[in-house]
Structure formats: C-alpha cells, structure tokens
Amino acid sequence: MKVEKGDFVVFNYIGRFENGEVFDTSYEDIAKENEIYVEEREYGPLGVNVGVGEIIPGLDEALLGMEVGEKKTVTVPPELGYGMPREDLIVDIDASQFEEVGLTPEVGMYVMTDSGIAKIAGVEGDKVKLDFNHPLAGKTLIFEVEIVDIEKAEAEGE
C-alpha cells in the first residue's frame, strides 16, 4: 500500500542541515543526543494528511509513493521548504516599544508581537530591526523519514 494524495500518514523523521547538524526530530533520544530536547514537547511519530499543504512541499512530495516501514532521505531546497528570506519581512520599530513592556532588546532574541514571532536582527540607537522570516528560510534541509502507518483517504461517496 503506497502513500497517495489525501492519505493520512504517520512517520518518524530526523531533520538536519547540510552540515549534519540535527535541528528537529520526532525521536526523543536523538533530540537528547543532539541537545535540542524540549521538555514540554511530545515526541513520537508525526501524523499528516499528504498533499494538502500541512507540511512543507518538499517533504509532502517525498512521502508520496512510500510504504509502511520504508525509509528515505530527502533533500529539500529552500524553495520547497520555508522559502528564501524576504527583505519585506524585516522591519524597523521604535525601541521605546520594548521599554514600555520592560524588555531590553538584544540581537538574536525572539519576541512575540501582534504580527507573530520575530527575531531581533539589530539594535541601533532608538531603532530595533525585527526579522519575521521563518528561522529555516533560505536553508537546504535534509530529512530522514520512516513511514509508520498509512490510513487511506476515503473514496468519494463512501
């Protein structure tokens, strides 16, 4: 039974950068080994509906045609992952907005805004540069995936 568009697929994965560094995984032991373990997170296989945009396109496409127990390594270029960084997603705001909430802006710090999460990309004088690009934008990602289960999509009229 092969994965087809619309199927619900359960799979494990390890996500790496091109240099081999693990940035995400569904395996708790691998997360701990690579010092990316998050206590609040629930580790285990991920379930998605394939072909409907629930995950990045490069991974979505790679799952098609796979079978239960099959393993595959997939290289996902930025265009099929989180896209390329966009200049229009980097904005300057007044530093006084941080003072109002009692924060001292520091480069590299992530902040929650009304527009979503942003990384502080720069602090110059009374201006703070916020970057709303996804942290993985512009990166080629390598995923090792293993199919755990496939639930076939219901045919029309069932």
CATH number at residue 103: 2.40.10.330
pTM for the full model? 0.85
Say whether pLDDT at 153 is over 90.
Answer: no
- As for how many domains the chain has, the answer is 2
Do the domain assignments include residue 41? yes
Say whether pLDDT at 156 is over 60.
Answer: no
Do the domain assignments include residue 156? no
- The mean of the pLDDT values for the chain is 95
In the chain, the percentage of residues whose pLDDT exceeds 70 is 97
Same domain, 117 and 67: no
- Scored b (16 or more CB within 10 A) or e, 120-156 reads bbebeeeebbbbbbbebbebbbbbbbbbbebeebeee
Indicate which CATH number applies to the domain containing 18.
3.10.50.40
pLDDT at 41: 95
Say whether pLDDT at 53 is over 60.
Answer: yes
Q: What is the 3 state secondary structure string of the chain?
A: CECCCCCEEEEEEEEEECCCCEEEECCHHHHHHCCCCCCCCCCCCEEEECCCCCCCHHHHHHHCCCECCCEEEEEECHHHCCCCCCHHHEEEEECHHHHHCCCCCCCCCEEEECCEEEEEEEEECCEEEEECCCCCCCCCEEEEEEEEEEECCCCCCC
* End-to-end alpha carbon distance in the chain: 19
Same domain, 34 and 52: yes
At residue 101 the predicted structure's pLDDT band, cuts being 50, 70 and 90, is confident
